[in-house]
């Protein structure tokens, strides 16, 4: 049996613990025999048995012989028959005195100083008549004295007691005799003890191990399996090893107390009433969770008190819960097209967090005062977001009929609602839909179509025609399945939609608007444009040409132009616009040959990527680099700061990106790809590549060091500490870097504040190159339905929808960077999900101005966020625009917070009823904790909230500056939304 090193320590430990005397089983001890010993002697005048009494009157059996004067002694003393029991080997311990011959005069020829020990195994004792035959006995050993005597100072010789132990065995028969042969010595045998060793029964790790006799062969151990104690179960086979000395060694495996039991003093005891243990293991019983109890011992679960329940997925450690009480304060608001129900959470949530609401509806009709005839509402009624499982505290009901009494029941449910008995508490409200608005427009007809236009007309609904202010037509390419849509308006029941693609099917929906608001949209209608050869067959007199999606962009341009007119600095901007128009084809491709401008070369176009590294980067001798500390972790390895020794022996601070060891060839290529891109750029607002190390390990990319790190964290660290001019200066730098990159034909695809680096002079430089690889590395990048990885919040809709990346999509991202900068690193769209961001952008929603943001900058952001990419500004325009602002700081003094009316363009902030209750609104900006502050201060409608100032927000108890900022920004949106609603005649 061999043991691994890991057991060495254990072995020693266990050995020391277990070395006690219980591991000896005594078969014979002459000192403990009270009666006669009755041992035999041959011849009878040889050994003498002397029995004396000690102080306690117990006999001391001694055998003596001392025939030292006579030659040829052969005196035998034989024990009684000793039962072997379980022994496989026995130990014989002899205590005796032995005179040395020198101490006895005249015995030199005959005196001996040893005696012999023999044994004989038999299965039964000999009868009294059996003759003693010495030849039958096997010799164990010759016993000599260690200390037959010692000399005292006085010269006396004092006899000393010797103790000798001998092993006898293996023994296999039922018993044995011991025999002592004297050949002429002077011996007194004071005691004989015969015993064997065993490992005594024990409890270890909640397992019981029986008495075990060690192997005869003292170098091997007996493996013993333990049995788990009562109420315990095996986790890993419990084992101990019995060693030759009767010690237990090397405990392995264990048992654990079963459910309902815990370990106390090495056994498993039942949990007391009021406690439980749901799993087997070495844990203690736990107290029953609230609203539950266990009445008996050994509880494995606590049963819920009456009226309380546990849902199927609730853990047994969770408190028992109950159904919630009814929702409170159910109110309704109705306008022409929608009916809003809002309520507050129940006073008792039942102790759970999984609260949702169901809205049920009954429709009642009948003569006033007469008997009402009620039935469940028909399926036509639409609930937004849904009728059941609503997580907020409001719902919009659409498509209701006119002149009907609807009774709505709102029930609060949680995970245990289905388990309770009895009626469920409901809140209800009856709403009469007398003021229902105009009905839908009728059937839409295609009057004619050319290759790029379709003429539509329709019949007006039952509404008085003159009550209709205008119609809105929404349309999109059928193939694109709502990826993007355009809309247009007309005052007459007809329109020509232009700017369409030839031979393409478009889907149209219409709605009309009266002084009281919009109708719901009509059904969809599908019409196709003609092919390129088809002429236009139309009655031109009917045609109202509508310029569609460009309206938003155009109106923004008008606003910006107006802005310049007001500040008297319009010319440059318009000129820049014209100049940009010249290269309209250009920035939307990656490789654009502008005369006189160096163009970017995609390293992927090289068959051998090392060739690109060779061409665009400089090799640095690693001995010139001194790495000082790790400042971050990139996808490929650590990013460090350090120093680079230049030719003139001066040192420049640098950042060093390393490629960690064990990389694949592909990783090395991707890593160096960024260097091949960066090496092509030379602009003060683009991070500069110093060089690469590729000929030794680790592979490194060395770039200029930017003391203030990435822009997003830098701004968050210095929240509110910069002047607007400083912020605009940073934005100007980024726009200038982007102008350079887009002029070179490089599309960044991941422009975001986290990818801008800031140096100690606050100069911002664009970094993180590498196209798709960059996105792999970006924690913000999420997979889209088409499988690409895209940083949704920063990316233009066309790039998300069909990966149309261009300098125009970079311009969209730049608008988001502007917003990040002006809000000091706030997360764009806060905690909204990526999906909600996509939907709200699609609906026309745009980020509101951050608190304290000059109108001009928010206008520029909105310009960058035009749906039509062709309408977005060029980076060179942005630079000129920002330069003008910087040169004329008074232009930055009008803050969005101060604007109370807004330009007459609904497209700037299109109608988008985002929120229908204060609760919903605060939930959406993750500020739900302030609901009660708003209500307590009397701000109960969105209308009243929209008029709140920063001071009001502070006054109602929002003290954290970040929270004030978030709420005030969102109030701007509300305000614009309401303004836009009023503009559209929509009342919430
Ligand atoms: N982190 C990543 N690149 C850096 C750089 N160039 N300077 C400072 N910090 C950085």
- Write a three-state SS string for 356-382: EEEEEEEEEECCCCCCCEEEECCCCCE
Q: Which helix (H) or strand (E) holds 979?
A: helix 961-983
Q: Among residues of the chain, what percentage have pLDDT more than 90?
A: 46
> In the 8-state DSSP scheme, what is residue 128?
T
The closest of 932, 979, 984 to 958, measured between CA atoms, is 932
Question: 675 a known binding residue?
Answer: no
CB contact at 8 A, 268 and 257: yes
152: tokens are 């005292």
Any atom of ligand 1 within 6 Å of the Cβ of 625: no
Question: 677 a known binding residue?
Answer: no
- Ligand 1 centroid distance, CA of 712 (Å): 13
pLDDT digits (tens, 9 = 90+) for 848-861: 889 889 989 999 99
Is residue 882 scored above 70 in pLDDT? yes
Task: Out of 236-250, 374-388, 852-866, pick the least confident.
Answer: 374-388
- Report the 10 Å Cβ neighbour count for 370: 8
pLDDT (mean) for 769-793: 70
Is residue 914 scored above 50 in pLDDT? no
Between CA 446 and CA 246 the distance in angstroms is 104
Q: What is the pLDDT of residue 700?
A: 95
Burial of 17 (C-beta count, 10 Å sphere; 0-12/13-18/19+): exposed
Longest dimension (CA), the chain: 162
Any atom of ligand 1 within 6 Å of the Cβ of 688: no
CB contact at 8 A, 448 and 495: no
Any atom of ligand 1 within 6 Å of the Cβ of 851: no
Q: Which of 644, 705, 708, 756 to mutate to test the pocket of ligand 1 (most atoms within 8 A of CB)?
A: 705
pLDDT (mean) for 578-591: 30
Position with higher pLDDT, 442 vs 210: 210
Please, what is the average pLDDT of the chain? 81
897 is catalytic: no
Measured by CA distance, the residue closest to atom 10 of ligand 1 is: 709
- Ligand 1 centroid distance, CA of 305 (Å): 60
- Ligand 1 centroid distance, CA of 631 (Å): 8
- Ligand 1 centroid distance, CA of 779 (Å): 17
For residue 218, report the phi and psi dihedrals to the nearest 5 degrees: -70, -5
- Ligand 1 centroid distance, CA of 258 (Å): 57
Task: Out of 198-202, 651-655, 710-714, 778-782, pick the least confident.
Answer: 778-782
Degrees (nearest 5) of the Cα angle 190, 154, 95?
Answer: 10
Q: Which listed residue (314, 750, 923, 952) is catalytic?
A: 750
Measured by CA distance, the residue closest to atom 6 of ligand 1 is: 705
Q: How confident is the model at residue 984 (pLDDT cuts 50, 70, 90)?
A: very low
Any atom of ligand 1 within 6 Å of the Cβ of 63: no
Q: Is 740 helix (H, G, I), strand (E, B) or coil?
A: helix
Between CA 735 and CA 749 the distance in angstroms is 15
Question: 662 a known binding residue?
Answer: no
Measured by CA distance, the residue closest to atom 3 of ligand 1 is: 655
Position with higher pLDDT, 144 vs 649: 144
Measured by CA distance, the residue closest to atom 8 of ligand 1 is: 706
Q: Among residues of the chain, what percentage have pLDDT more than 70?
A: 81
The closest of 714, 668, 704 to 683, measured between CA atoms, is 704
pLDDT digits (tens, 9 = 90+) for 610-631: 899 999 999 999 999 998 898 9
Any atom of ligand 1 within 6 Å of the Cβ of 874: no
The closest of 538, 469, 478, 468 to 506, measured between CA atoms, is 478
Q: Which of 625, 627, 632, 636 to mutate to test the pocket of ligand 1 (most atoms within 8 A of CB)?
A: 632
Any atom of ligand 1 within 6 Å of the Cβ of 574: no
pLDDT digits (tens, 9 = 90+) for 931-965: 888 887 888 777 788 888 888 899 999 988 888 88
Q: What is the pLDDT of residue 155?
A: 60
Any atom of ligand 1 within 6 Å of the Cβ of 37: no
3-state SS, 470-526, equals EEEEEEEEHHHCCCCCEEEEECCCEEEECCCCCCCEEEEEEEEEECCEECCCCCCEE
Any atom of ligand 1 within 6 Å of the Cβ of 706: yes
Any atom of ligand 1 within 6 Å of the Cβ of 711: no
Between CA 829 and CA 129 the distance in angstroms is 112
- Ligand 1 centroid distance, CA of 761 (Å): 15
pLDDT (mean) for 112-120: 96
Q: How confident is the model at residue 152 (pLDDT cuts 50, 70, 90)?
A: low
Question: 478 a known binding residue?
Answer: no
Question: 634 a known binding residue?
Answer: yes
Q: Which of 709, 753, 768 to mutate to test the pocket of ligand 1 (most atoms within 8 A of CB)?
A: 709
- Ligand 1 centroid distance, CA of 759 (Å): 9
Any atom of ligand 1 within 6 Å of the Cβ of 273: no
pLDDT digits (tens, 9 = 90+) for 381-436: 888 888 999 988 888 887 777 677 889 999 999 999 989 877 778 999 988 776 44
Q: What is the pLDDT of residue 342?
A: 83
- Ligand 1 centroid distance, CA of 883 (Å): 27
Position with higher pLDDT, 7 vs 210: 210
Measured by CA distance, the residue closest to atom 1 of ligand 1 is: 709
Question: 636 a known binding residue?
Answer: yes
Looking from the CA of residue 708, the nearest atom of ligand 1 is 8
Q: Which of 637, 641, 756 to mutate to test the pocket of ligand 1 (most atoms within 8 A of CB)?
A: 641
- Ligand 1 centroid distance, CA of 711 (Å): 11
888: tokens are 């004329």
Looking from the CA of residue 687, the nearest atom of ligand 1 is 6
CB contact at 8 A, 609 and 669: yes
Between CA 48 and CA 64 the distance in angstroms is 5
Q: Which helix (H) or strand (E) holds 401?
A: none
Predicted model pTM: 0.41
Any atom of ligand 1 within 6 Å of the Cβ of 720: no
Question: 184 a known binding residue?
Answer: no
Any atom of ligand 1 within 6 Å of the Cβ of 886: no
Between CA 203 and CA 9 the distance in angstroms is 20
Q: How confident is the model at residue 269 (pLDDT cuts 50, 70, 90)?
A: very high
pLDDT (mean) for 800-819: 95
Is residue 542 scored above 50 in pLDDT? no
Q: Which helix (H) or strand (E) holds 838?
A: helix 834-842
Looking from the CA of residue 703, the nearest atom of ligand 1 is 6
- Ligand 1 centroid distance, CA of 605 (Å): 28
Is residue 16 scored above 50 in pLDDT? no
Q: How confident is the model at residue 561 (pLDDT cuts 50, 70, 90)?
A: very low
């Amino acid at each position: 049996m061999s043991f691994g090193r890991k057991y060495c320590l254990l072995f020693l430990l266990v050995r020391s613990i277990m070395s006690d005397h219980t591991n000896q089983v005594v078969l014979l001890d002459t000192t403990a025999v009270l009666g006669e010993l009755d041992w035999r002697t041959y011849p009878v005048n040889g050994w003498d048995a002397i029995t004396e009494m000690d102080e306690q009157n117990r006999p001391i059996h001694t055998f003596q012989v001392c025939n030292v004067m006579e030659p040829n002694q052969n005196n035998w003393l034989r024990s009684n028959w000793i039962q072997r029991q379980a022994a496989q080997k026995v130990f014989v311990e002899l205590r005796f005195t032995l005179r040395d011959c020198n101490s006895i005069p005249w015995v030199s020829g005959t005196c001996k100083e040893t005696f012999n020990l023999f044994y004989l195994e038999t299965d039964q004792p000999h009868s009294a008549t059996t003759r003693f035959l010495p030849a039958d006995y096997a010799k164990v050993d010759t016993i000599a004295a260690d200390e037959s005597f010692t000399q005292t100072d006085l010269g006396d010789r004092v006899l000393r007691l010797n103790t000798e132990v001998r092993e006898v065995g293996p023994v296999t028969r039922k018993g044995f005799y011991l025999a002592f042969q004297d050949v002429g010595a002077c011996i007194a045998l004071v005691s004989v003890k015969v015993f064997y060793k065993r490992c005594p029964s024990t409890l270890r790790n909640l397992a019981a191990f029986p008495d075990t006799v060690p192997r005869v062969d003292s170098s091997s151990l007996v493996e013993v399996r333990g049995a788990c104690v009562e109420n315990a179960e095996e986790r890993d086979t419990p084992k101990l090893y019995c060693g030759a000395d009767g010690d237990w060694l090397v405990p392995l495996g264990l048992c654990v107390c079963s459910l309902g039991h815990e370990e106390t003093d090495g056994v498993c005891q039942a949990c007391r009433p009021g406690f439980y243990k749901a799993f087997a293991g070495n844990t203690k019983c736990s107290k029953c969770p609230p609203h539950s109890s266990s009445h008996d011992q050994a509880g494995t679960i606590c049963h819920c008190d009456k009226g309380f329940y546990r849902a199927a997925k609730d853990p047994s450690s969770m408190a028992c819960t109950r159904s919630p009480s009814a929702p409170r304060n159910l109110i309704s608001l109705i306008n022409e097209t929608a009916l809003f129900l809002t309520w507050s959470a129940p006073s008792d949530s039942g102790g759970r967090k999984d609260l949702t609401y169901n809205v049920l509806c009954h429709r009642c009709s009948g003569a006033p005062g007469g008997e009402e005839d009620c039935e469940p509402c028909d399926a036509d009624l639409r609930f937004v977001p849904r009728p059941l499982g609503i997580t907020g505290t409001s719902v919009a009901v659409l498509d209701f009929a006119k002149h009907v009494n609807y009774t709505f029941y709102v029930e609060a449910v949680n995970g245990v609602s289905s388990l309770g008995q009895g009626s469920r508490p409901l809140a209800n409200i009856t709403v009469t839909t007398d003021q229902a608005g105009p009905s839908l427009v009728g059937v839409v007809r295609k009057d004619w179509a050319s290759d790029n236009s379709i003429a539509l007309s329709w019949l007006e609904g039952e509404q008085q025609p003159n009550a209709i202010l205008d119609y809105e037509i929404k349309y999109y390419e059928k193939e694109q399945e709502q990826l993007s849509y355009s809309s247009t308006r007309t005052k007459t029941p007809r329109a020509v939609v232009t700017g369409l693609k030839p031979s393409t099917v478009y889907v149209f929906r219409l709605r009309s608007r009266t002084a009281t608001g919009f109708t719901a949209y009509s059904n969809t209608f599908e019409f196709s444009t003609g092919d390129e050869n088809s002429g236009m067959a139309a009655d031109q007199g009917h045609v109202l040409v509508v310029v569609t999606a460009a309206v938003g962009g155009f109106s923004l341009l008008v606003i910006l132009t107006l802005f310049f007119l007001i500040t008297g600095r319009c010319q440059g901007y318009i000129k820049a616009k014209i100049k940009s128009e010249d290269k309209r084809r250009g920035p939307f491709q990656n490789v654009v040959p502008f005369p006189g401008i160096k163009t970017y070369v995609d390293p992927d176009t090289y068959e051998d990527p090392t060739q690109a590294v060779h061409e665009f980067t400089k090799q640095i001798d690693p001995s010139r680099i001194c790495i000082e500390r790790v400042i971050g972790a990139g996808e490929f390895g650590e990013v460090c700061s350090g120093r680079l020794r230049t030719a003139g022996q001066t040192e420049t601070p640098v950042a060093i990106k390393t490629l960690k060891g064990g990389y694949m060839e592909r990783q090395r290529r991707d890593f160096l790809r960024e260097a091949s891109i960066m090496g092509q750029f030379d602009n003060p607002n683009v991070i500069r590549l110093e060089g690469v190390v590729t000929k030794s390990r680790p592979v490194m990319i060395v770039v200029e060091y930017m003391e203030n790190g990435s822009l997003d964290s830098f701004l968050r660290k210095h929240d509110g500490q910069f002047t607007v001019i400083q912020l605009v200066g940073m934005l100007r730098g980024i726009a200038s870097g982007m102008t350079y990159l887009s002029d070179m034909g490089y599309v960044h695809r991941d422009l975001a504040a986290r990818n801008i680096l800031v140096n100690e002079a606050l100069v911002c430089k664009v970094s993180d190159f590498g196209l798709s690889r960059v996105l792999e590395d970006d924690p913000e990048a999420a997979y889209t339905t088409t499988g690409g990885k895209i940083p949704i919040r920063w990316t233009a809709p066309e790039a998300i929808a069909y990966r149309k990346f261009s300098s125009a999509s970079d311009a969209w991202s730049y608008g988001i960077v502007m917003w990040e900068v002006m809000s000091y690193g706030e997360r764009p769209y806060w905690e909204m999900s990526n999906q909600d961001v996509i939907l709200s952008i699609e609906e026309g929603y745009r980020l509101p101005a951050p608190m304290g943001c000059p109108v001009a900058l928010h206008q520029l952001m909105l310009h960058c966020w035009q749906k039509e990419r062709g309408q977005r500004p060029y980076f060179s325009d942005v630079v000129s625009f920002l330069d003008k602002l910087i040169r004329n700081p008074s232009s930055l003094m009008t803050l969005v917070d101060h604007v109370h009316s807004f330009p007459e363009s609904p497209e700037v902030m299109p109608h988008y009823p985002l929120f229908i209750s204060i609760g919903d609104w605060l939930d959406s900006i993750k500020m739900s904790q302030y609901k009660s502050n708003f209500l307590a201060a009397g701000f109960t409608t969105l209308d009243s909230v929209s008029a709140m100032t920063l001071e009001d927000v502070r006054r109602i108890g929002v003290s954290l500056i970040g929270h004030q900022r978030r709420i005030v920004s969102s109030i701007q949106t509300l305000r614009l939304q309401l303004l836009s609603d009023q503009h559209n005649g929509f009342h919430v």
